Each structure stands twice: as structure tokens, then as C-alpha cells.
A = this chain, B = another copy of it.
Amino acid sequence: MTAAELERLLADVAQGALTPEAAVQRLRRFPVDDLAYAQVDHLRPLTQGFPEVVLAIGKTPDQVLGVCHSLAESYGSFLVTRADGDTREALQDRFPKVELNDLGRTAYLPPDPPRAATGRGTVLVVTAGTSDLPVAEEAAVAACALGNRVGRLTDVGVAGIHRVLRQADELFRASVVIVVAGMDGALASVVGGMVRVPVVAVPTSVGYGASFGGLAALLAMLNSCASGVVVVNIDNGFGAAAAASRINHLP
């Protein structure tokens, strides 16, 4: 229930268009829906601007289904990230209209009818290499679901610096740039030095040996010589999308 919906509901009650009983029924899950194994937070749209997004890691498919059911009933939509094959299948069985992204491991039930993008500009997702695509897809799907127009620029890492330089125009057109890179994470600094808009860097666990599961890229990005590059957790495509959406929805 978004803030606008809540206002409308209360106005309806005030105008007699909705009986208090019916309103209570609709507010039943407010502010939390207690599922024993989860407290689905229905205050989230008010505090954050969008409903809870479900991180499937460490949850059983049944638990994910339960939370999604609560969200679908209230909002007609949900987004699940890090959903493994079993969970994605269970969601598709239960919600036939869910959109699965196997590379990005997401499951998204779009609202019906679809909503237009509400963000002010484009969120551009830039990846250093082909192996970074799963994280980039998670970011792109999530940014869409959160109401943003999304662009993509793939495999433009600095080993062949001309690949990103020749795409400068596309970079200049974006409102927010998400840079997804593993290994040395150097692309974040190069992009950060090329554009004026906010740059959200996502280190990935792509690499081996002394990448230590993405630590190398994480540290490099935190120490970026380009001013004002911000960083999210390793492989956290969703987090980058949420940050970009906060920025892109700035009033």
C-alpha cells in the first residue's frame, strides 16, 4: 500500500465511499503481515517508496512463496532476487505471469496493467566483462521494477579502454550510472572520471586467486581516485538498483 493509496483509502472512508469494515479488511496487513517465519513489512512503501523486495538466499521456496503471496495480494506485484532454480520454478507454478530472468536469478511479477517509469532519467548499467552479466541483470531488472528506464552497456572493461571511450555519448545521456566490475574494478574509476552524474559501483566476485571473492574490486572501488563514486556490497546488483532508484526519484 503506497502513501497515495493510503490517502485515497482514508479519503474514501471519510466520504463514505468505503465502509470502515472494508477499510479494516484492506488495512489488515498494515503495518506488518505476520507469517510466523516473516513479518512482511507493509509500511515499507511509505518509508521507502516501494514494497519489500524478497531476498531468497537462506529462505525455503515455501517461505518465499508465502511472502510473495502477501505482497501480491496487497500490491499485485513483487520482486524476488537470488532465486535459485527451485524457487523460480515454484514461483512460476504459483504465479504464471511472473517474469523470470535466469541469468540474473530474479522473478518479477509486474503490476497489471503495467506502470510507466516514474524516475526522472535513465539508469545506465555498465559492465566490465561478460562474466559480470548476472549481477548486471539483477540490477537492470530491479531498476525496472522500481520504476526506472534502464539502459545497458556491456563488456567495456579498461583492458581495451577504447571500448568505453567510444560510448561516451551514451554515458553522458544517463542520469545515474551503475558500473558492474570484478577483478581490478578499474572501470568504476574511469567512468567516474568521465561523467558528472552519480556513479554507483558494484564490485563482483568475478576473478580468482587474489580477487578473494570480489574483495579486490571492492577495495579498489572504495579507493577510487574519481571523487564521489559510491559503492555497494559485492555482487549486490539489487542494492545498486535501489540506490540508483532513490537518486532517480529525487523530488
Contact = CB atoms under 8 A, between A and B. Distances in A.
Interface of A: 31-32, 36-39, 41, 43-44, 47-49, 53, 55, 57-59, 63, 67, 82, 120-121, 128-133, 154-163, 165-166, 175-176, 182-186, 188-190, 192-200, 203, 205-236, 238-239, 241-251
Contacts of A182: 223
24 contacts: A37-B155, A41-B163, A48-B196, A58-B131, A63-B130, A120-B250, A159-B192, A161-B161, A161-B193, A184-B185, A184-B186, A186-B186, A196-B249, A197-B250, A198-B198, A208-B233, A210-B222, A210-B233, A211-B223, A216-B223, A222-B232, A227-B242, A228-B243, A229-B239
B215 A219 contact: yes
Contacts of A186: 158, 184-186, 189-190, 220, 224-225
A186 B191 CA distance: 12
Contacts of A154: 36-39
A220 B215 CA distance: 9
A242 B228 contact: yes
Copies in the complex: 8
Contact of A39 (B163, B214, B238): B163
Contacts of A241: 228
B212 A219 contact: yes
A235 B218 contact: no
B222 A133 contact: no
Nearest to A130: B38
Contacts of A200: 230
Nearest to A66: B130
Counting chain B CB atoms within 10 Å of each CB, the highest count among A158, A184, A195, A243 belongs to A184
Given A39-B154, A216-B223, A222-B234, 14 more contacts: A32-B160, A37-B154, A38-B154, A39-B156, A47-B196, A57-B206, A59-B130, A175-B250, A184-B186, A184-B188, A217-B223, A228-B246, A230-B232, A230-B243
